[in-house]
Chains A and B, each alone.
Chain A
Amino acid sequence: MIPLHWFLLVAAGMFCLGLFGVLIRRNVVAILMSIELMLNAVNLNLVAFWRYLAPEHINGQMFAVFVFAVAAAEVSVGLALIISIYRNRDDVNAGDLNLLKW
């Protein structure tokens, strides 16, 4: 059987890659994709802990299912915002969206 820490390490690696992407990418779509990576890493963690620590309770799977719902909501609104931003500014770089910054 595969030990738990293998899954956790994959999830951690994925989370850090997502974090890296969120911080260095300037394109909003790319940032959103990196956030998806982070959400999935968290999901993988939840399911791994569920399987290894408490498989007889369904809470771990349940949380993962709700993460799906939240991710879907986040992506749909986020991408709609990106389309709206593009329509108004012809540009989707995060650094240029500084109208409300100061």
Chain B
Amino acid sequence: MKDWTFIVILSIVAMATPLAPILIGRLIGPRKGNELKNATYECGVETRGDTWVQFKVQYYIFALVFLVFDVEVVFLYPWAVAYNRLPLFGVLAGVVFVITLAEALIYTIRKDALRWI
């Protein structure tokens, strides 16, 4: 628990550190907003329509492949920690796991799903 005390305290300090200058900036900086100044910046062109434009499915696919890889790599961390203790068989089991991961990658690349369009 001692380890985590430090992290909790550090997280509080780390949140306060950037918060303070922003609040100071809000306090001592001028606050003279007007309609033009607060307008959405689009290089001088007046904004029109919703901000929430239609996004491509491609964004979803990147995040999806990332999620799957993330979860699988997380499985590999305990395996890596135990690596020195494992027999050859155990290491090969991990290798089979990695190969399954590689299959997922090969599938997505072959189906051209990871191409930015």
A positions within 8 Å CB-CB of B: 65, 68-69, 72, 75-76, 79-80, 83
Contacts and interface: CB of A to CB of B under 8 A. Distances in A.
Interface stretch (B22-30, B44-52, B63-71, B86-94): B63-71
Nearest to A69: B71
Majority SS at the chain A contact face: helix
Contacts of A69: 71, 75
Majority SS at the chain B contact face: helix
Nearest to A58: B78
16 contacts: A65-B74, A65-B75, A68-B74, A69-B71, A69-B75, A72-B67, A72-B68, A72-B70, A76-B64, A76-B67, A76-B68, A79-B60, A79-B64, A80-B60, A83-B57, A83-B60
Contacts of B75: 65, 69
Nearest to B70: A72
A34 B82 CA distance: 36
Contacts of A83: 57, 60
Interface residues of B, number: 9
A80 B74 contact: no
B68 to A, nearest CB: 7
Contacts of B70: 72
Interface centre among A65, A68, A75, A76 (most CB of B within 10 A): A76
B22 to A, nearest CB: 30
A33 to B, nearest CB: 15
Given A68-B71, A69-B71, A72-B67, 7 more contacts: A65-B74, A65-B75, A68-B74, A72-B68, A72-B70, A79-B60, A83-B57
